[in-house]
């Protein structure tokens, strides 16, 4: 009887330890994100640790969020380029994608309808792989004219509504037009500019990661 009692006690303790280990694993598992974008995501002319993805990852971790953000930004990339590399730029095991593309389309005067079509196809690829997307919006440069702006500026919201995505309206919010937060080219954010972008983007990113973590439980 003593042996049976001891054996039963051992089984109960072992089960408790196993359950505790599983819970700890679930709580400490790092959410894997990929930032798919252009030079704004890549961190043009900046050290790797000052890029948007690096600063966002650090900001999230500082708030106790377990996350890793891979930088799949390519300077000069368009939505067509992003579509061509979407599959291999976002590996299996990715939990979510921050999609930031379209600025170079506008700078090159690519038809907004083409930009929307490409982004739609990229999002569809990730949906087919069950990878959630956080869509970062952009605004057309004023020099492209009113007609172009009207056709371009609404495409991100349309895609967010169509695919029921989390969306951040304007990726360069707080930095566009602020010389002190830009490189000498007057287009790309410097490290301080990216810090401003991350600060404003952070609440949306927190919600995005939380939704992914809750879904995986």
CB atoms under 10 Å from CB of 164, counted, come to: 7
d(CA 174, CA 181): 9
Q: Is 196 exposed, middle or buried (0-12, 13-18, 19+ CB in 10 A)?
A: middle
Q: Please list the pLDDT of the chain residue by residue as tens digits (217 residues).
A: 443 444 434 333 344 334 443 333 333 579 999 999 999 999 999 999 999 999 999 999 999 999 999 999 999 999 999 999 999 999 999 999 999 999 999 999 999 999 999 999 999 999 999 999 999 999 999 999 999 999 999 999 999 999 999 999 999 999 999 999 999 999 999 999 999 999 999 999 999 999 999 987 6
Look-up: residue for tokens 């500026």? Answer: 153
In the set 38, 39, 51, 105, the catalytic residue is 39
In the set 51, 77, 105, 188, the catalytic residue is 188
User: Tokens representing 49?
Assistant: 């640790």
- Give the pLDDT confidence score for residue 151 in this predicted structure: 97
d(CA 180, CA 158): 33
Nearest to 69 by CA among 39, 94, 46, 86: 94
- Give the pLDDT confidence score for residue 27 in this predicted structure: 35
- Give the pLDDT confidence score for residue 14 in this predicted structure: 40
Q: State yes or no: is 188 an active-site residue.
A: yes
Sign of CA dihedral 193, 199, 204, 207: positive
Nearest to 31 by CA among 61, 71, 73, 76: 61
Give me the domains of the chain, ranges plus CATH numbers. 30-215 (3.40.50.1110)
Rg (C-alpha) for the chain, rounded Å, is 21
Nearby residues of 138 by Cβ (< 8 Å), 6 or more positions away? 100, 102, 103, 106, 156, 170, 171, 172
- Give the pLDDT confidence score for residue 21 in this predicted structure: 35
- Give the pLDDT confidence score for residue 2 in this predicted structure: 40
In the set 120, 173, 185, 216, the catalytic residue is 185
- Give the pLDDT confidence score for residue 216 in this predicted structure: 72
**pTM score over 0.75:** yes
User: Tokens representing 134?
Assistant: 């956080």
Whether residue 194 contacts residue 55, with contact meaning beta carbons closer than 8 Å, is answered with: yes
d(CA 174, CA 60): 20
- Give the pLDDT confidence score for residue 52 in this predicted structure: 98
β partners of residue 98: 35, 134
């Amino acid at each position: 009887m003593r042996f049976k009692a001891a054996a039963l006690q051992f089984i109960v303790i072992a089960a408790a330890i196993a359950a505790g280990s599983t819970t700890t694993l679930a709580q400490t598992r790092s959410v894997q994100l990929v930032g798919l974008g252009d030079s704004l995501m890549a961190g043009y002319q900046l050290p790797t640790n000052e890029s948007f993805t690096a600063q966002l990852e650090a900001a999230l971790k500082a708030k106790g969020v377990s996350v890793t953000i891979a930088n799949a930004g390519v300077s000069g990339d368009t939505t067509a380029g992003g579509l061509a590399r979407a599959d291999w730029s976002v590996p299996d095991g990715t939990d979510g994608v921050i999609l930031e593309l379209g600025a170079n389309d506008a700078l090159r005067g690519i038809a907004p309808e083409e930009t929307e079509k490409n982004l739609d196809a990229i999002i569809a690829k990730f949906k087919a792989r069950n990878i959630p997307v956080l869509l970062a919006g952009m605004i057309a440069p004023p020099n492209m004219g009113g007609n172009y702006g009207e056709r371009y500026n609404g495409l991100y919201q349309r895609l967010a509504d169509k695919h029921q995505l989390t969306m951040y309206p304007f990726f360069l919010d707080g930095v566009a037009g602020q010389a002190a937060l830009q490189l000498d080219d007057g287009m790309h954010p410097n490290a301080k500019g990216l810090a401003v972008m991350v600060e404003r983007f952070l609440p949306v990113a927190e919600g995005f990661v939380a939704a992914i973590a809750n879904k995986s439980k």
